[in-house]
Structure 1
Amino acid sequence: MTLPTLDILGIGNAIVDVLAPTDDAFLAARSLAKGGMQLIDTAQAEALYAAMPSGVESSGGSAANTCAVAAALGAKVGFLGKVATDQLGDVFAHDIKATGVHFPTERLAGGAPTARCLILVTPDGQRTMNTFLGACVTFSERDVDAAEVARAKVVYLEGYLFDPPAAQAAFRAAAQAAHAAGRKVAITLSDPFCVGRHREAFRAFVAEEADILFANEAEILALYETDDFEKAAAMAAADVEIAALTRSEKGSIILSGGKRHAVAAQPAQVVDTTGAGDAYAAGFLAAWAKGLPLAEAGRWGSVAAAEVISHYGARPLADLKELVA
């Protein structure tokens, strides 16, 4: 068996994030559910983008954020995701490569434009996401390069990408390529609404293909259709080798091999919760790839999440290597 040359290969929606500060009145005027994520079409995306205050644009998408944060922690990282041959596609490709992430996916020519997520951040730090998926939903089995998958210790799959049927086939292909190469498969559930739309498919994938599961409290309750966290946690632990379950200010619980590790949340001044779960997964996987104990991997995840929520944007501003040390 060949040795891996990457620690993590992320697969997910390649999206350009546009973050802007706003207020509750702006959300109310547009009937936007605060703290939620909704999918929007081209016309809605253009109207909202025009109405938003000026913001910060960067390569985004949940798994792409995880990859960038993991790279900042010193992990060797690659990312597969679909952008178009347009200006925002250029922004995404340049930005993700600048973080040190390998990005080999072929671009979409002559189809939908590059995806963007318009993120409105209110003074309480809540983010309301409005996502136009564009080119990224065309990601399919053809875009899963088995050789790239085999290079990584773990392939990390983003639940948001689970929506289109082509992507579900891509996830299965990636998992099979990973396991054929003796690698691990990690998945994050991403969003309770996402889970609700595809619960049976998610449950089957988690039980049959996943080795490592990331979920927050709302997502894990949605997956196992219960309002009892301990029951859901036990069900997750029965399905996967490692379940890393985050609970905001209550920290996280890591379950593996009949053992339970409780990890405290790191103190943080909450400015913007965008990317907290993505950063946690990045810290966890970067530490796991180094062979560190699970409790320490959880601590790395908590440190990364705390840094990311202390400012606008889903990418770290401080030196994460220094923080985890």
Structure 2
Amino acid sequence: MTQPRLDVIAIGNAIIDVIANCSDERIDELGLARGGMMLIDADQARALYAAMGPAREISGGSAANTLAGLAALGAQCGFIGQVAQDQLGEVFTHDIRAAGIDFAVPARAGDPPTARCLIFVTPDGQRTMNTFLGASHYLPAEALDDAAVAGAAVLYLEGYLWDPEEPRAAMRKAIVAARAAGRKIAFTPSETFVIDRHRADFLSLIADGAIDVLFCNEHEMAALTGKSGFEDGLTMLAPSIPVLVVTRGAEGAVALAGGERAEVAAEPIERVVDTTGAGDLFAAGFLYGHVRGRSLQDCLRMGAICASEIISHYGARPDCDLAAFVAERMN
């Protein structure tokens, strides 16, 4: 087996978060669900974008956020996702490459436009989110570079992207390429509603030995296993997965691997500002430790530290020197 060129390559949604301040009255005028999140279509996305005031555009997407954390820690990473030939596609491409992450998938011509989450922030800090998945759900299997997948120590797959047919085919193709090269495959089901639609698929991947590292939270584990008891869920999954990582929010996280069990408490912080991206950055810290051969306990602790950084500010990308932040707290 050849030495991997990359530590982690990931397949996921390529999304731009567009964040603007607005009044409470404006939320009512636009007919939005204040404080909620809803999926919107292309026409709604264009209309809302035009209605926004001055905005900040920040790259997002679950797997892309994880890679941003990994790259900030010093890992070599690559991303496979789909943007369109438009302004937001250029923003996403610039941001991910500026983070030192390989990204070579050509932008898609025509509609739909690049995925975006339009976020209206009222004076009390409440965030009203409107998500259009756009071009990200049109990643074709042909866009996959088998050699790039084979050249990474870990292939990381985002469950959100399992829903649409084209990227699901791309991820299945990537699993074959990674396995043929003797690489590891990490997977997150992303959300319980994804599990509700694809539980049989995910359980089949587990039964076939296609997943080496599984990341989920306790609610996702319950949806996947059908077990309401936390320990019952662990007992069901652990024998079939080499490394199982389950997060529990403020109660910390648990990992099981090869008969070993490790647990970590949530890192204390002064104030939780925004939990968006907490799971993504937990995965970043854990995977960084994993590819560096750290102990299971250290991997969990690094994950918890990275999650604590991300929930201390708005946005799902690190807002400090993450490598120094983790190093200081690991000592």
**Which aligned pairs between 1:110-129 and structure 2 lie closer than 5 A?**
110-120=110-120, 129=129
Aligned to 1:200: 200
How far apart, CA to CA, are the structure 1 residues paired with 2:183 and 2:23?
45
**Residue 294 (structure 1) shift:** 1.3
Aligned to 2:233: 232
**Which aligned pairs between 1:303-322 and structure 2 lie closer than 5 A?**
303-322=305-324
Q: Residue by residue, what CA displacement relative to the aligned partner does 1:24-46 show, whole Å, maximum 9, x if unpaired?
A: 984898463856x5321012223
In structure 2, the residue corresponding to 1:232 is in which secondary structure?
Answer: helix
Deviates more, 1:107-116 or 1:2-11: 107-116
In structure 1, the residue corresponding to 2:288 is in which secondary structure?
Answer: helix
How far apart, CA to CA, are the structure 2 residues paired with 1:236 and 1:61?
27
Q: Residue by residue, what CA displacement relative to the aligned partner does 1:2-42 show, whole Å, maximum 9, x if unpaired?
A: 1001000011011111234679984898463856x532101
Read off the aligned partner of 1:314 and give its amino acid letter. Answer: A
**Residue 112 (structure 1) shift:** 1.8
TM score, norm. by length of structure 2: 0.90
Q: Residue by residue, what CA displacement relative to the aligned partner does 1:187-219 show, whole Å, maximum 9, x if unpaired?
A: 111111111122212222233211110111121
CA contact (8 A) 2:156 2:187 kept: yes
What count of residue pairs does the alignment treat as equivalent?
Answer: 324
In structure 1, the residue corresponding to 2:202 is in which secondary structure?
Answer: helix
How far apart, CA to CA, are the structure 2 residues paired with 1:197 and 1:12?
18
CA contact (8 A) 1:125 1:270 kept: no
Aligned residues with identical type, % of pairs: 53
Aligned to 2:165: 165
How far apart, CA to CA, are the structure 1 residues paired with 2:49 and 2:247?
32
Q: Residues 115 and 29 (structure 1 numbering): CA distance in 2 closer, same or farther, change over 3 Å?
A: closer
In structure 1, the residue corresponding to 2:59 is in which secondary structure?
Answer: strand
Aligned to 2:218: 217
Aligned to 1:139: 139
Q: Residue by residue, what CA displacement relative to the aligned partner does 1:112-153 show, whole Å, maximum 9, x if unpaired?
A: 211112245678987654321111111122122110001111
Aligned to 1:105: 105
Aligned to 1:291: 293
How far apart, CA to CA, are the structure 2 residues paired with 1:140 and 1:227?
37
Q: Residues 187 and 94 (structure 1 numbering): CA distance in 2 closer, same or farther, change over 3 Å?
A: same
How far apart, CA to CA, are the structure 2 residues paired with 1:207 and 1:49?
44
Aligned to 2:57: 57
CA contact (8 A) 2:255 2:296 kept: yes
Q: Residues 39 and 202 (structure 1 numbering): CA distance in 2 closer, same or farther, change over 3 Å?
A: farther
In structure 2, the residue corresponding to 1:32 is in which secondary structure?
Answer: coil
How far apart, CA to CA, are the structure 2 residues paired with 1:228 and 1:8?
32
CA contact (8 A) 2:42 2:113 kept: no
CA contact (8 A) 2:238 2:256 kept: yes
Read off the aligned partner of 1:76 and give its amino acid letter. Answer: Q
**Residue 308 (structure 1) shift:** 0.7
**Residue 50 (structure 1) shift:** 4.3
In structure 2, the residue corresponding to 1:198 is in which secondary structure?
Answer: helix
In structure 2, the residue corresponding to 1:267 is in which secondary structure?
Answer: coil
Deviates more, 1:255-264 or 1:6-15: 255-264
How far apart, CA to CA, are the structure 1 residues paired with 2:103 and 2:96?
7
How far apart, CA to CA, are the structure 2 residues paired with 1:300 and 1:255?
16
Q: Residues 109 and 192 (structure 1 numbering): CA distance in 2 closer, same or farther, change over 3 Å?
A: same
Computing the radius of gyration over CA atoms, which structure comes out larger, 1 or 2?
2
How far apart, CA to CA, are the structure 2 residues paired with 1:203 and 1:123?
44
Q: Residues 302 and 85 (structure 1 numbering): CA distance in 2 closer, same or farther, change over 3 Å?
A: same
Aligned to 1:274: 276
How far apart, CA to CA, are the structure 1 residues paired with 2:28 and 2:273?
18
CA contact (8 A) 1:127 1:274 kept: no
TM score, norm. by length of structure 1: 0.92
How far apart, CA to CA, are the structure 1 residues paired with 2:215 and 2:125?
23
Q: Residues 140 and 260 (structure 1 numbering): CA distance in 2 closer, same or farther, change over 3 Å?
A: same
Gaps of 5+ in 2: none
